[in-house]
Structure 1
Amino acid sequence: MKTIALFGGSGQTGKLVLEKALKEGYKVKALLRNPDKVDIRDSNLTVIQGDVLNASDVLIAVKDSEVVLSLFGHVKGSPEWLQTKGTDHIVEAMKQYGVEKIISLSGGGLPFPEMDKPKLADKMIRFIMKVAVPKILKDAILHAEILRKSNLNWMIVRGPRLTNDKPKGHYRVGWVGVNASTKISRADLADFIVKQIELDEFKHQMPFISE
């Protein structure tokens, strides 16, 4: 089975992805700022204490991996350009070690004009984000630009409001304003992300996953 380099494995969605990846038999190298936040013990899990903003820590996590899952995001007190700088470090490490595939997680506010057909409500949400959290939205856009220019096999998974509901076991894979709803459970989102490890259906695309 493949070895996965995981960033953001201590977050609410990241933990579910970590558990599911291990259950599927993948080996996981998880870079964690605070390893105490993950109490999973598994022979296929290697925990590396470090920070995605530290290029040398990222190199350790990416080395000997075959796919990167980039699930880290802003929390209270995060640096303004967290996702941009962290993604830049990850891309450079991937190029250094010849790792080609990366799956990144972002929100529905990140535009993908090639396929999105935002309705009025979607446009209002994006406008609110531009006003309320402009730095986070700009950071997401810049991280996507880095991936677009990387020549790697990248995809960005986007979602609406995330819930802790029980998984339904099915979900819609669409675009903003196209075959989409306003929420999804983290468990179902994690299921989709782990499935993409073996698939390239959405290479160089940004599917929007919802109930």
Structure 2
Amino acid sequence: MKTIALFGGTGQTGRELLSLALTRGYDVKALVRNPAKLSQTHPRLQVIAGDVLNPADVAATVASTDVVLSVFGHGKGSPDWLQTDGTKNILAAMRESRVKKIISLSGGGLPYPEKDEPKFADKAIRFIMNLAMPKVIHDAVAHHGVLAASGTDWIIVRAPRLTNDAKQGHYREGWVGVNASTKIARADLAEFLIKQVEDDRYVHQLPFVSY
């Protein structure tokens, strides 16, 4: 069974993902800034205290793993280029440890013109997001560029509005404006994310998962 390097495990989606990974039998190395925020303990979980912006902490997390799951994101007071710079550190650590695959979480505001067919409502939402949180969108776009140039087997999973509703056990895999809706529960999003560890169908693509 593979060992996962997890970034963002103390967030709401990250906690769902961590629990699911352990339930599925994966070993997990999780980098967290504050281990006290991670209440879960498990024989197959190794918690590393550190920061994704610290290359040494990231290298220690990625060492001796098989795949990276990156679900860290912006919070209050985050640096403008948090996702981009953190992803650069992760990619450097992957090269050092010869880890080939990374699955990164982003939002529906990240465009993918090759497959997206945004409707009027989708365009309106993107316009509002660009006004309300430009640094998050710009950072997401830049992190995509870094991954695209990395030579790794990368997948960027995009999601709409996230809820803490109960897991439904089903969802749609599509693109913005194509076989897609406007929300998904974090528990179902975690299910899709963990599937990508073994599934290479979306390598070098940006699938949009929703109800």
One-letter code of the match for 2:167?
P
Between the two proteins, what is the percent identity of the paired residues?
Answer: 62
Structure 1 equivalent of residue 203 of structure 2: 203
Give the 3-state SS of the residue equivalent to 2:151 in structure 1: coil
Paired residues in the alignment total 211
For 1:113 and 1:90, the matched residues in 2 are separated by 26
Q: In terms of mean alpha carbon deviation, does 140-149 or 123-132 score higher?
A: 123-132
Structure 2 equivalent of residue 128 of structure 1: 128
| 1:11-160 mapped onto 2 (5 Å cutoff) | 11-160=11-160
One-letter code of the match for 1:98?
R
- Output the TM-score relative to the length of structure 1: 0.99
For 1:196 and 1:131, the matched residues in 2 are separated by 32
- Output the TM-score relative to the length of structure 2: 0.99
Where does structure 2 lack aligned partners over 5 or more consecutive residues? Answer: none
Q: CA deviation at 1:76?
A: 0.7
For 2:89 and 2:166, the matched residues in 1 are separated by 34
Root-mean-square deviation (CA, aligned residues, Å) is 0.5
Deviation readout 1:53-108 (Å, 9 max, x if unpaired): 00110000000000000000001111111001000000111011100000000000
Q: CA deviation at 1:142?
A: 0.2
For 1:41 and 1:129, the matched residues in 2 are separated by 37
Structure 2 equivalent of residue 184 of structure 1: 184
Q: In terms of mean alpha carbon deviation, does 41-50 or 121-130 score higher?
A: 121-130
For 2:187 and 2:75, the matched residues in 1 are separated by 20
